[in-house]
Amino acid sequence: MPRDVFRVKYYRHGADVLIRPCGPLNELTSIRLLRPILTLVKKGVTSLIVDLGLVTSIDSAGLETLQEANDLIKGVDQPSLRLVVVPNSWIERQLRESDLWRLFRIYSTPEQAWDAVSTEIDSEEPAGKTLEFDEELNFTVSRDVVGDVVVYAIDGELDLEEVRRLKNVLMEDLHSGNIRVVLDMRWVGFIDSSALGLFANMGKKFQDKGGDLRFANINAQTRRVFKVFRLDRLFRDFGTLEEAIRSYRSGDPHGTKDQPAS
């Protein structure tokens, strides 16, 4: 997904609604985050989590939007808005520097936020359901560059249609000489055989050019699939995105000296 594209995805988890903005949160896009929050509050949903993990940039208007959203929640006599913020990230620094940090309840992962709210609200709804909403839930791929490493944050299910989209963007980097790539898989809940084929094919292409394709934040289910098809022998799987990026600076181009993350 180009860095200037903004989308919002919605999920229900028990009594919670998780809102995940993807892309730049600024003066032009912030209304697209505030409007659904207002709608959800009017519908009676008061337990909201805003996951900022895929926000690529934020300006003063974006910060003001988060404050307005918090005011909406507190206006219906609910606790402060929950934010998911990656620790030690640039967005955490911006929140702290803006002095808005103290207004919110901050968590490192959606799971932490969900666990916290489960102790406060009883719900008979099953967890993990996708929230039906007016806006279509789209598969997104967010591209970023850290030094000479290209990072793709993938959000959605990797089936045949989405694999084609991912292949296109990976091929663009290959042809442009960007051969050190990390796929951040933290939001991928499902992959099919076409995804496995893509990984094997593109991994070889990057390695033939002197680069590599590495993975971060693979969940337990996907890791089991990798082992069944022996992809764990071809690729490195790191527990965090930072470790995956740092591995390219270790002096071993294919990371063969280290052990895969368990």
- Spell out the domains of the chain, with CATH numbers in brackets: 7-118 (3.30.750.24), 140-247 (3.30.750.24)
pTM of the model: 0.49
In single-letter form, the type of residue at position 27 comes to E
Distance CA 84, CA 75 (A): 21
Compute the distance between CA of residue 46 and CA of residue 125 in angstroms, rounded to an integer: 15
**CB distance 238 to 247 below 8 Å:** yes
The β-bridge partners of 149 are 146
pLDDT digits (tens), the chain, 262 positions: 444 567 777 776 656 788 888 889 988 888 888 877 887 777 777 788 999 998 988 999 999 999 999 998 888 888 889 999 999 888 999 999 988 889 999 999 888 887 776 555 443 333 333 333 333 334 667 788 899 999 998 877 787 777 888 898 899 999 999 999 999 998 786 788 889 999 999 999 999 999 999 999 998 888 888 888 888 888 999 999 999 999 998 754 444 334 443 3
178, 146 Cβ separation under 8 angstroms = no
Q: If you count them, how many residues does the chain have? A: 262
